[in-house]
Structure 1
Amino acid sequence: MRCSLWLVPSEREHDALSCLMNFRPRHHRSKTHSSRSYPRFDPHVTLATFESSYKPKISLFLSPTTISVPVYFESMKVGNNYLSSLSIVVAKSRELMQLRDLVVEHLENNNMKDTSRSFPHMSLFYLDEKSKGDRQELGKQLERSERVRERTGRRVIEAALDCTLDGAEPEFDAMYGFEGSSIWLVDCTGGVEDWKVLEKQKLKSRRHDLRDVYLSRGEPFYSFSWPTNPVPVVTMPPSPRMGGRQPFLYGSNPLPMTPYYPPDPR
């Protein structure tokens, strides 16, 4: 049995990303493309893939007290094979790498080996190329339609996904990442549409008041990182290419406030 451990977004983020993943390019026709192209699957970041002679349990690899992990998008990548067709490269944050290292350590303790590649990434589409360049053309259409927007300097440093063009709720017009809120154990034997979810484990919130928050630029709020010490903050304007919203804030419980003005330095 070929199994994978997935880090999966919260329910609302999952639904938003699924809308984007339902996008099909103008030239797509189910009758002219391979039946393996554009299969439906759940948005996720693969933490590890391994072979097992028995049906494992998530408890072999993770504690029930494992906390949720933030995932940040860096760039879009077009691959040269089916399982790397088109994906979003994910930042190697400290939290994500620690979770992955923990999973790999437990795999090794159970005489299993991680065989996953290109960690970390989030696949958006799997595509069999009918003609050379189909995957590149798909990437170009995502960029032209601004479903994927990358902010670049000397290198690409972050990406935002607009899921609203395909039916997601308005606040998902610029997703810079998601909160990894659960772990799924998936049987990946066979084709993509044959994959089966064997078990799910919800992760504990990093703070009791955790929620996804989207703020318009310039909108003031109180940041309750510590409930007894509210800190007034004003959001900074994002790059014009990234739209009119800030990335969502994790671990904050913002409340409206009167405009905050920094102290006069004189």
Structure 2
Amino acid sequence: MSSGGYALWLVPVEHESTELQAIMRFRPARRRHSDRPTRSYPKFHPHVTLATFDDLPANFHLNEIVPQSSDITAQYTHLERGETYLGAMKLMMTAPAALTQFRADILRQLQRMGMENKTRRFPHLSLFYVEEADERQRLHRGLQSRKFFTDDFTGNLTVKANPKASGPGIQQFTCGEVWLVNCMPRSVEQWSVIERHALSADPPQASQQSTSATKVQRAQRNQSHASCGCVIM
């Protein structure tokens, strides 16, 4: 995705988010002379970007554009290192028919409202935003050496924050919520959640989050988006 404007994020269910966030806290060993300012490694929630757009109509509501869907999953396939800040490190995944149709229905609703989607490559899950090319290489080597991602040689990937633990890790992305996110600020950690729409009963508090976030949305649209204090962690 590109910075600026607004985005629709597809967020995994809670236990998968927890596993991914543990990996996202990983940092390779510090380099010498690495005290220069950097935008690398901001905190953000693991997500798949469904769409990005420049403007947000005043009458926009997630529950009016998100189709009724449940139990949509996709299999992780491989870890990919990119050549840009926002594309630095991501998990690639399959695009099953249910997920593809889910997104197509949302894009159709956006188009009906005159909103142009700017996200083309889909689907993938963002893990790290890293500015420096050499740091992206170091991060990729570090992630591989820690064996967070195991390929079963059939095209499926197992993701595990603690490779030595007895648990199975996660093999798939399970759709949990759709988030409307304000990405106007240049700093990723100033991006903010405007509204949430639950797709699954996991997490159990999702319905409460959606209700309270909608109230926040009304207030935020009457303020400067860049000053929002709801940081995505």
Q: For 2:125, which of 122, 125, 128 is the aligned residue?
A: 122
Q: Per the alignment, do residues 95 and 28 of structure 1 end up closer, same or farther by CA in structure 2, a change over 3 Å counting?
A: farther
Query: Which of the pair has the greater relative contact order for Cα pairs under 8 Å at 6+ separation?
Result: 2
Corresponding residue number in structure 2 for 1:179: 174
Q: In the TM superposition, what is the alpha-carbon distance from 1:182 to its structure 2 partner?
A: 1.1
Matched, 1:194 2:190: yes
CA deviation map 1:148-205 (0-9, x unaligned): 223446xxx1222111269xx853x532123111111111112211110011111146
CA distance in 1, matches of 2:162, 2:104: 34
Q: Secondary structure at the match of 1:72?
A: strand
TM-score (norm 1): 0.67
| Structure 2 match to 1:249 | none
Report the CA distance between 1:120 and its aligned residue. 0.7
Show the counterpart of 1:113: 116
What residue is the counterpart of 1:240 in the other structure?
A: none
CA contact (8 A) 2:175 2:200 kept: no
- Secondary structure of the 1:35 match is coil
Q: RMSD over aligned Cα, in angstroms?
A: 2.4
Which residue pairs with 2:140 in the alignment?
139
Aligned ranges for residues 23-38 of structure 1 at < 5 Å? 23-27=26-30, 32=35, 34-38=37-41
Instruction: Give, as a single letter, the amino acid of the residue that structure 2 aligns with 1:109.
Output: R
Task: Please say which structure displays the higher CA radius of gyration.
Answer: 1
| Aligned ranges 1:1-266 → 2 under 5 Å | 2-27=5-30, 32=35, 34-55=37-58, 56-63=60-67, 65-129=68-132, 132-152=133-153, 157-164=155-162, 171=167, 173-190=168-185, 191-204=187-200
Could you tell me how far apart the structure 1 residues matched to 2:83 and 2:189 are?
A: 21
Identity %: 30
Distance of 1:164 and 1:117 partners within structure 2: 33
The structure whose residues are more often helix, as a share, is 2
1:163 maps to amino acid: A
Q: Which amino acid aligns with 1:75?
A: H
Once residues 59 and 139 of structure 1 are traced to their aligned partners in structure 2, the CA distance between those partners, rounded to angstroms, is 38
- Corresponding residue for 1:250? none
Contact map agreement 2:6 2:53 (CA 8 A) in 1: yes
Structure 1 stretches of 5 or more lacking a match? 206-266
Runs (4 or more) in structure 1 with deviation over 6 Å come to none
For these two proteins, the number of residue pairs brought into alignment is 196
C-alpha contact 1:68 1:182 (8 A) present in aligned 2 = no
Distance of 1:15 and 1:177 partners within structure 2: 14
- Cα 1:151/1:139, change in 2 over 3 Å: farther
